[in-house]
Amino acid sequence: MIISGPAFAADTDALLRRFAAEPAGPELDPYQALLLDREELPDPELAGPRDPRATTQDLQIELAGRSLEARLHRSAAPRGPVLLWLHGGGFVGGHFRDIEYATSRFAALGNRTVVSLNYRLAPENPYPAGLDDVLDTLAWIRANLTDGPIAVGGQSAGAALAAGACLVARDNGLPMPAQQILCYPSLDLDQDTESYRLFDGTFLSIAPGRWSSAQYFPPDPPVGALPLRAHSLGGLPPALILAAGRDPLRDDARRYAERLIQDGVPARLVEYADTMHAFLNFPGVLSAGRHAVELIGAELRQCSE
């Protein structure tokens, strides 16, 4: 299914021009630049407001040998359905504060509790640290938050962690989420796809040899890191997959949806034409981002009823 809103292209073009016009910062080595980027707060004009219908609280999730920060948005009754959400950021950056428009509205529209997790990041914590955090947080949610269904979802690298957690759970006989929601997922490495050739450098580059990938991936990545390389996707939870039409990762989303369906897993692909990677991070100015949040919220509510 392709959704093409009348303002998607114009919104996206305006935002890309805005980013291109920003003055260049000082030349730094990649790690110094990453540390500065991690400290930058989201621009409220771009990120949009938190939904006031959802109550919000911060919590520390205590796991074996570590403590993780999470932000909880709640509109459902206690012990009701839960969504574990994972921000993007190339496995090296990102924060739950970047996506509060989406996560708070998922709670309000989907009538559930949303746990927005700050998983561990590379280079300090390369694979499989973030994936272990997702798997252990799912177990923590079952033990502490709900007796009901749990969905897992995320954006870009976060979507890769969500998909990887479902594969690892399946392959190791662990309880699986009831649903996976994958927004413009990064599911392979060094792709030579049509979308890479057309759109690499449109907000995001996935060119081989990039610094962030070298910090995160092991030399021979397993399928938990690269879900598209799994031999079979059979037996995984039903999936809602969102793609962006002007995203170098567009074809990851398309291929994963095709493979899920081929392997007997209910999957729905929704592609937002004429917009870019990370469009859910900028709902203040991207109508495609606002539309996608409403669509995901409606999907969550339907699965809660």
Q: Catalytic site residues?
A: 156, 247, 277
Q: In the 3-class helix/strand/coil scheme, how is the chain assigned residue by residue?
A: CEECCCCHHHHHHHHHHHHHHCCCCCCCCHHHHHHHHHHCCCCHHHHCCCCCCCEEEEEEEEECCEEEEEEEEECCCCECCEEEEECCCCCCCCCHHHHHHHHHHHHHHHCCEEEEECCCCCCCCCCCHHHHHHHHHHHHHHHHCECCCEEEEEECHHHHHHHHHHHHHHHCCCCCCCEEEEECCCCCCCCCCHHHHHHCCECECCCCCCHHHHHHCCCCCCCCCCHHHCCCCCCCCCEEEEEEEECCCHHHHHHHHHHHHHCCCCEEEEEEEEEECCHHHCCCCCHHHHHHHHHHHHHHHHHHC
